[in-house]
Chains A and B, each alone.
Chain A
């Protein structure tokens, strides 16, 4: 099943590069959706089916749609941007991220993990039990955070009163 990983890896890296290199913002968003789907595929290949499905529901169904909405509300509807990511000021960004990549790969090389996976089946039931028992406090904190984010997003994005403009 090696080829599944390689296909997914090429898919993810390709769509990820497309997502940050294109000038048209909507094209970026569409490539980003492909990227999220590829990550979901990686989760499926790691036998974390629940996470794969959650990845699609949250990222493709919610975050990508939010990003599309933000593009529609802030830019020209065609999504064209004037500045290209290859302009002169961007070169330092590319150098910095290439340096980070080198550091990450270098540090990885020294401690080679050649451990093969023990097949283990974690069912939905285990995840549910863990969430309600061992991880109950983080679970509650996350739900509070999400509620706060929901309220905050609504308050921030609400139209300002007219007289202040």
Chain B
């Protein structure tokens, strides 16, 4: 049963190829390149169809969860529990008038959302979604992810600049400054995993997080139990998040990815109360929808990379198909992001920069050192302890730098 669900995409693809081959063979001999081309188209269509669908459901889920946190209902008019709200929103944005400001720089204003969407979709290609399910298994996978991700910075600047609006320009400049600063801990925290695995390929990173303990000569009920325990341990125990450097790397990665995505509490570039909506103030209709699409696709992609690097990718006990585990992890991380958005206040600009340069950057550098130590100490238990001690100490001392202790007690005279 598990095997069937794990392979379901391949079975569908093979059925399509078989049907096409049969159809063509009625008229001529099927060409040799047919399977490769069909697989290519199939993969692309699957990615282009699946992720926008997830995007639509994410917008609904985000509004629903935020509503729950803020003690209101959220969308509840269209369909059962407001489930068709994304469709209504889609029709609304498509039929809305597309307004371009009269003094805006029209070519760049039009190009910006397109580049944003392209950059966010490029990133999906290197994520291993399930066993043998990857868009393009490049041997520079992780680097490709960061390269394609860095294009989105440019698109945000283009949007902010081309709108010829002070708020947009401020938002764009804020976004670039923030993304350039947080990109460093973002990449450095991923470097630990690359270093330990010894490869940049995402599929090899996932398979490095599997353990291979075997029970010798399984007999009787006791050994069956042992096999079940070993099975769980093999599929969960190897996740890098259980190592001290992996845990800190994961936290650094997740925190700086919030800043890369311009999400709360790092949403200064689009802070509604200060600069309206930042770089997409002057966008309406479908272009605005494209920006929303690219933001959510990047969110899914970053959560996917976080689970690939630290949470074992598609590895998991065979209760769910491999892609089931992947999406379970992605959706859990996205839920945490929404939760954070609902509960954390926004940072000030100086706090934002101080946090990146004084805390996350040194912590991620020390994390690389501790990962190297862990890798080279032969005894796993001792290595674990040493790495944990270094990271705990670093966290303790670095966090003193960012906490402001001398806050005077405020006296409210007129309140």
Contact = CB atoms under 8 A, between A and B. Distances in A.
A–B contact, 8 Å CB criterion (strictly below) = yes
Interface of A: 26-27, 30, 33, 40, 49-50, 53-54, 56-57, 60-62, 64-65, 68-69, 72, 77-79, 123-125
B147 to A, nearest CB: 4
A123 B146 CA distance: 18
Nearest to A68: B157
B139 A33 contact: no
B16 interface: no
Given A26-B161, A124-B199, A33 B140 contact: no
A68 B176 contact: yes
Interface of B: 105, 108, 111, 138-140, 143-144, 146-148, 150-151, 153-154, 157-158, 161, 164, 169, 173, 176, 180, 183, 198-200
Contacts of A60: 147, 150-151, 154
Contact of A56 (B148, B161, B169, B176): B148
A25 to B, nearest CB: 11
A123 B108 contact: no
Given A60-B151, A65-B157, A72-B173, A123 B180 contact: no
Given A27-B108, A53-B140, A124-B199, A69 B150 contact: no
Contacts of B108: 26-27, 30
A156 B146 CA distance: 29
Given A26-B161, A124-B140, A125-B198, A57 B153 contact: no
Main secondary structure of the interface of A (DSSP, over half): helix
A61 B143 contact: no
B140 A65 contact: no
Contacts of B139: 49, 123-124
A49 B164 CA distance: 38
Kindly list the 10 A-B residue pairs having the minimum CB-CB distance in the complex, ordered from nearest.
A61-B150, A56-B147, A53-B143, A53-B147, A57-B147, A49-B140, A53-B140, A124-B200, A53-B144, A50-B140
16 contacts: A26-B105, A26-B108, A30-B108, A40-B147, A50-B140, A53-B140, A56-B148, A57-B150, A60-B151, A61-B147, A61-B151, A61-B153, A61-B180, A68-B157, A72-B173, A123-B139
Given A49-B140, A54-B147, 9 more contacts: A27-B108, A50-B143, A53-B143, A61-B147, A61-B150, A61-B180, A77-B161, A78-B164, A125-B198
Nearest to B146: A57
Given A54-B143, A123-B139, A125-B198, A65 B151 contact: no
A40 B141 CA distance: 15
Nearest to B111: A30
B320 to A, nearest CB: 32
A65 B143 contact: no
Nearest to A72: B173
Nearest to A26: B161
A56 B157 CA distance: 17
B154 A69 contact: no
B365 to A, nearest CB: 13
B173 A56 contact: no
A65 B198 contact: no
Contact of B169 (A53, A77, A123): A77
Contacts of B173: 72
A64 B154 contact: yes
Contacts of A26: 105, 108, 161
B154 A33 contact: yes
